[in-house]
């Protein structure tokens, strides 16, 4: 099993739709979680951190489910500009290691 | 607001040539990282540093060396380039231990082709 798994998509949704992605992780000792956005051939950019209680930033909501070991990202009222690949990132705690594990990403296409 | 700056942006090398990729950050971060990203794969950690003068191996360190002589700079070297090292290389800074909940910030990448 991969340490961090995401559905590669693509998720094709119309403008204005609500879409959700999940990301599962294998290491129960994981402590920090993030969602990044990556546009084609560009660098990953932090979208939001994921907190235990869940958090929201405008149209974006992130949730953490430790019991089932997954995080989720919900995008409401999708815009054309939301089209990108969304990377899930998990920070593993280990003996002296500082490991950020990246998922391979979920591709979103918002259609006009 | 430079953040993380990578040079060069693009490079084409011949097999066996050497080169150094430079990463500079102005955010006073202790931690810095070098990743490579290949089609269909997630970012893979090559080497990282937890502070000036320190380096450590990541997931795919073979064929690469690094140095962190100054806190703000992290250099990635390819001593003898191979076609398998054709990739997009990203430098990142920030982050920390799992308990810190600090994200990483990325440079805009170096696209490297080895012929």
Q: Round to whole Å and give the CA distance between B109 and B36.
A: 9
Confidence band (pLDDT; 50, 70, 90) for B94?
Answer: confident
**What mean pLDDT do residues A68-86 have?**
97
A93/B98 CB distance under 8 A: yes
A93/B100 CB distance under 8 A: no
**Which SS3 state, helix, strand or coil, does residue A54 take?**
coil
Q: Is the pLDDT of residue A63 over 90?
A: yes
pLDDT of residue A8: 92
Whether chain A has a CB inside 8 Å of the CB on B42: the answer is: yes
Q: Round to whole Å and give the CA distance between B85 and A81.
A: 32
Confidence band (pLDDT; 50, 70, 90) for A96?
Answer: low
End-to-end Cα, chain B, rounded Å:
35
Interface size, chain A vs chain B, as Cβ–Cβ contacts under 8 Å? 67
A104/B41 CB distance under 8 A: yes
pLDDT of residue A94: 61
Cβ neighbourhood burial of A93 (10 Å; 0-12, 13-18, 19+): middle
Closest-CA distance of chain B to residue A111, Å: 23
Contacts A44 to B, Cβ<8 Å: 43, 90, 106
B103/A41 CB distance under 8 A: no
Q: Round to whole Å and give the CA distance between A3 and B45.
A: 14
Confidence band (pLDDT; 50, 70, 90) for B90?
Answer: very high
Mean pLDDT, chain B, whole residue set = 92
Backbone angles phi, psi at A81, to 5 degrees: -70, -10
A68/B42: higher pLDDT: A68
Confidence band (pLDDT; 50, 70, 90) for B99?
Answer: low
Chain B residue closest to A93 (CA)?
B98
């Amino acid at each position: 099993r991969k340490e961090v798994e995401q559905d590669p998509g693509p998720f094709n949704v119309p403008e204005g739709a609500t879409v959700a992605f999940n990301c599962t992780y294998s290491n129960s000792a994981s402590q920090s979680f993030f969602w990044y956005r990556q546009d084609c051939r560009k660098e990953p950019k932090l979208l939001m951190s994921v907190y235990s209680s869940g958090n929201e930033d405008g149209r974006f909501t992130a949730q953490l489910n430790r019991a089932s070991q997954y995080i989720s990202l919900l995008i409401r009222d999708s815009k054309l500009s939301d089209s990108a690949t969304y990377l899930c990132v998990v920070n593993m705690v280990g003996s002296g290691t500082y490991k950020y594990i990246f998922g391979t990403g979920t591709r979103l296409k918002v259609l006009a | 607001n430079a953040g993380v700056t990578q040079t060069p942006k693009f490079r084409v090398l011949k097999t066996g040539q050497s080169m150094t990729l430079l990463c500079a950050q102005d955010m006073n971060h202790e931690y810095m990282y070098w990743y490579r990203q290949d089609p269909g794969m997630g970012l893979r950690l090559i080497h990282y540093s937890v502070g000036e003068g320190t380096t450590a191996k990541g997931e795919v360190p073979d064929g690469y060396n690094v140095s962190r002589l100054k806190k703000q700079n992290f250099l990635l070297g390819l001593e003898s380039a191979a076609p398998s090292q054709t990739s997009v290389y990203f430098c990142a800074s920030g982050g920390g231990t799992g308990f810190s909940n600090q994200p990483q910030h990325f440079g805009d990448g170096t696209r490297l082709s080895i012929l």
